[in-house]
């Protein structure tokens, strides 16, 4: 008999946090991951992420009025997530959770 193990999104999020937080990452990538995971890992925090029409990645920190562009675009963020997922030992549910959070980033209007 095949057993399926259903994990609630909050459990997956917490597992991502537990595995990713101790991994050494750049300050910017740490802030982006923290935003995707609804965590408070950096000062200042990224409060909002947006994707431009040409798939650039923008972020706004707490207390900032405008958005600033990140060097990595959406594709770079996805590559970085896959890379850190390997290092952190994320499973398929956890990688899918993070990629789903990237998909939820609102487009810049």
How far apart CA 65 and CA 49 sit, in angstroms, is 13
pLDDT band at 2 (very low <50, low <70, confident <90, very high): low
The answer to whether the beta carbons of residues 84 and 23 sit under 8 Å apart is: yes
pLDDT band at 92 (very low <50, low <70, confident <90, very high): very high
What is the DSSP pairing of strand 56-61 with strand 46-51?
A: antiparallel
pLDDT number for residue 109: 76
The answer to whether the beta carbons of residues 32 and 77 sit under 8 Å apart is: yes
């Amino acid at each position: 008999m095949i057993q399926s193990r259903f994990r609630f999104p909050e459990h997956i999020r917490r597992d991502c946090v537990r595995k990713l937080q101790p991994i050494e990452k750049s300050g910017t990538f740490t802030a982006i991951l923290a935003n995707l995971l609804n965590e408070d890992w950096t000062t200042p925090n990224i409060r909002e992420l947006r994707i431009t029409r040409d798939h650039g990645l923008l972020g706004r920190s707490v207390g900032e009025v405008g958005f600033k562009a990140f060097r990595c675009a959406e594709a770079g963020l996805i590559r970085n997530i896959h890379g850190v997922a390997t290092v952190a030992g994320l499973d398929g549910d956890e990688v899918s959770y993070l990629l789903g959070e990237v998909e939820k980033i609102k487009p810049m209007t």
